C-alpha cells in the first residue's frame, strides 16, 4: 500500500525527476562524503545519494517510512536513525558533515537553529525550504524580508539560493513555492561577537517590534550616548542595520558590562 502523507509530519514528497537531478548537481556528492539526509521520505534523494556514496545516514521520524527504508536498504551503506531531527546529535556522526534534506516546513526554522548550534561539525547544508523562508535567510538590510533569521544565520553562514521549486514537484502539492539553499559555515564571522549569547538576545530584542525604533526596542541596554559612540541613528529600525552593526552593539554592551 502506498504511503499516505501525514500532515502532522509536514510531509510533501519530492517526485519530479528534473528537480531531483538539479538538487543532486548542486550537492555534487563524492563517495567518501560524510552525508546525512534529514527526512528521506519516499527516497527521491536517498536512492541516488546511496548509489553515489559509500555510506549515507538518514534521519526519519515516521515509523512506517523507517520500516520501508530498513526493508529496502539491507546492504549496510544506508544507516537509518529513527527519531526527531530537532533532537539529533549531529556531532555524534563525526566532523565535516554534509547535511541534505527536504525539511518539513513546519519545523524548518527551529531545525536551522538546531543545526547552527552544532555548526562546528557541519561542512555544508543543502536544504529544501519554503521559498519565503529562503528569501528571509538571504535578505539584505533595509528590505521587507530582512529580520532576525537573516541576521542570525548570515552571522554564521555564507548562503545562496541555488534553485526555485514549484508545487508541482511534490506529492501532495504544497500551497507554497519552495527553494533550495546552500549554506556554508563561515570559518570565522566577519565580525566576531565577544558574547554570542548576548548578540543573539540583542538581535531578538531589536526585531521584537519591527515598527519601533532602536531607541525604543533597545532602551534597556543603550542610552543616547551609546548610540552616539556607535554611530547608529537611534531613530533607525532594526531592519536597517547590517549584521556587523548588531555585533558592534553587542560588543559595546559587553565591554561596558551592561545587562
> What's the pLDDT tens digit per position in 66-97?
999 999 998 889 999 999 999 999 999 999 99
The tally of CA atoms less than 13 A away on the side-chain side of residue 9 is: 22
User: Tens digits of per-residue pLDDT, 190-242?
Assistant: 789 999 999 999 999 999 998 899 999 999 999 999 999 999 999 999 999 99
What does DSSP assign to residue 131?
Answer: H
- Over range 147-165, report the average pLDDT: 96
Question: Is 102 or 138 the better-scoring residue by pLDDT?
Answer: 138
Residue 173 reports pLDDT greater than 90: no
Query: What's residue 105's pLDDT?
Result: 82
Number of neighbouring beta carbons within 10 Å of residue 107: 18
Q: Name residue, grid cell 515516521.
A: 62
Query: What's residue 35's pLDDT?
Result: 98
Query: What's residue 5's pLDDT?
Result: 45
Query: What's residue 259's pLDDT?
Result: 46
Q: Grade residue 257 by pLDDT with cuts at 50, 70 and 90.
A: low
Query: What's residue 51's pLDDT?
Result: 96
User: Tens digits of per-residue pLDDT, 54-70?
Assistant: 999 999 998 988 999 99
- Over range 112-118, report the average pLDDT: 95
CA distances to 35, 168, 219 from 126, in Å: 11, 20, 39
Grid cell at residue 250: 553587542
Contact 121, 96 (CB under 8 A): yes
- Over range 140-153, report the average pLDDT: 96
Grid cell at residue 175: 500551497
How far does CA 138 lie from the centroid of its chain?
11
- Could you tell me the pTM of the whole model? 0.91
How far does CA 195 lie from the centroid of its chain?
22
Query: What's residue 112's pLDDT?
Result: 95
- Over range 94-123, report the average pLDDT: 93
Query: What's residue 82's pLDDT?
Result: 96
What is the rounded average pLDDT for all residues in the chain? 92
Residue 8 reports pLDDT greater than 80: no
- Over range 1-13, report the average pLDDT: 53
CA distances to 20, 39, 83 from 66, in Å: 21, 10, 10
Query: What's residue 4's pLDDT?
Result: 52
Query: What's residue 190's pLDDT?
Result: 73
Contact 173, 180 (CB under 8 A): no
Element (H, E) at 137: helix 131-138
The tally of CA atoms less than 13 A away on the side-chain side of residue 105 is: 19
Share of the chain above pLDDT 90, in %: 80
Rounded to whole angstroms, the Cα distance separating 125 from 118 reads 12
- Over range 16-44, report the average pLDDT: 95
Question: Is 259 or 176 the better-scoring residue by pLDDT?
Answer: 176
Class of residue 154 by CB neighbours under 10 A (exposed 0-12, middle 13-18, buried 19+): buried
Domains of the chain with CATH codes: 7-185 (3.40.50.150), 196-255 (1.10.8.100)
Rounded to whole angstroms, the Cα distance separating 79 from 77 reads 6
Amino acid at each position: 500500500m502506498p504511503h499516505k502523507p501525514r500532515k502532522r509530519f509536514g510531509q510533501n514528497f519530492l517526485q519530479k525527476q528534473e528537480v531531483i537531478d538539479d538538487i543532486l548537481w548542486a550537492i555534487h556528492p563524492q563517495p567518501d562524503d560524510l552525508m546525512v539526509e534529514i527526512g528521506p521520505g519516499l527516497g527521491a534523494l536517498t536512492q541516488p545519494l546511496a548509489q553515489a556514496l559509500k555510506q549515507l545516514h538518514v534521519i526519519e521520524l515516521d515509523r512506517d517510512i523507517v520500516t520501508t527504508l530498513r526493508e529496502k536498504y539491507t546492504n549496510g551503506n544506508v544507516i537509518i536513525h529513527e527519531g526527531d531531527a530537532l533532537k539529533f546529535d549531529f556531532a555524534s556522526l563525526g566532523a565535516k558533515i554534509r547535511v541534505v534534506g527536504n525539511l518539513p516546513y513546519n519545523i524548518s526554522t527551529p531545525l536551522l537553529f538546531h543545526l547552527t548550534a552544532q555548526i562546528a561539525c557541519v561542512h555544508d547544508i543543502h536544504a529544501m525550504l519554503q521559498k519565503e523562508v529562503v528569501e528571509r535567510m538571504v535578505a539584505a538590510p533595509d528590505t521587507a524580508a530582512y529580520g532576525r533569521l537573516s541576521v542570525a544565520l548570515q552571522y554564521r553562514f555564507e548562503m545562496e539560493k541555488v534553485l526555485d521549486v514549484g508545487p508541482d514537484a511534490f506529492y501532495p502539492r504544497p500551497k507554497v513555492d519552495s527553494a533550495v539553499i546552500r549554506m556554508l559555515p563561515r570559518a570565522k564571522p566577519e565580525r566576531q561577537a565577544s558574547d554570542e549569547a548576548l548578540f543573539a538576545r540583542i538581535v531578538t530584542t531589536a526585531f521584537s517590534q519591527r515598527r519601533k525604533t532602536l531607541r525604543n526596542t533597545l532602551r534597556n541596554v543603550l542610552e543616547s550616548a551609546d548610540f552616539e559612540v556607535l554611530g547608529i541613528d537611534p531613530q533607525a529600525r532594526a531592519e536597517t542595520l547590517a549584521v556587523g552593526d548588531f555585533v558592534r552593539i553587542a560588543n559595546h554592551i559587553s565591554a561596558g558590562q551592561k545587562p
